[in-house]
Chain A
Amino acid sequence: MEFDLNKLKKRASYPFETVAVGLAFSPEMEQLLAEAKKITDACGSKLILIHVGEKTKEKEKSLEDILFRINIEEKKVKLIWADGDVVDSLLKLCKLNIVDLLILGALEKENILKFYLGSIARTVSRRAKCSVLLVTQKKPSQKSKQKVIVNAGADHPKTIHSVNAALYFAKNLGINEVTMVHEVHVPALAMAMAESSSAPEVTKIKKEYSEEESNKLHSLIAKCNTGSVKINEKVIKGKPGYAIRQYAETKKADLLVINSPDTHLTFLDRIFTHDIEFILADLPCNLLIVHSRV
Chain B
Amino acid sequence: MPAEIYLNVAVSGLLTGLVYGLMALGLSVIFGVVRVVNFAHGEMTTIAMYIAITLFSALRLDPLVMMVPIAAVLFAFGYALQAGIINPFINRPEHSQFILLVAIAIIIVNLLLIVFGPDARSVQTSYAYDSFQIGALIVDATKVYAGVATILVAAALFAFFRFTLIGKAIRACADNYTGALVVGLDVKRLYALTFGLGAACVGAAGAMLVLLVDVTPALGPAYTLLGFIIVITGGLGSMPGALIGGLLIGLTEAMAGLFFAPSAKSMFSFGLLVLVLLFRPQGILGRRVA
Chains A and B are bound partners: no
Interface residues of A (CB under 8 A from B): none
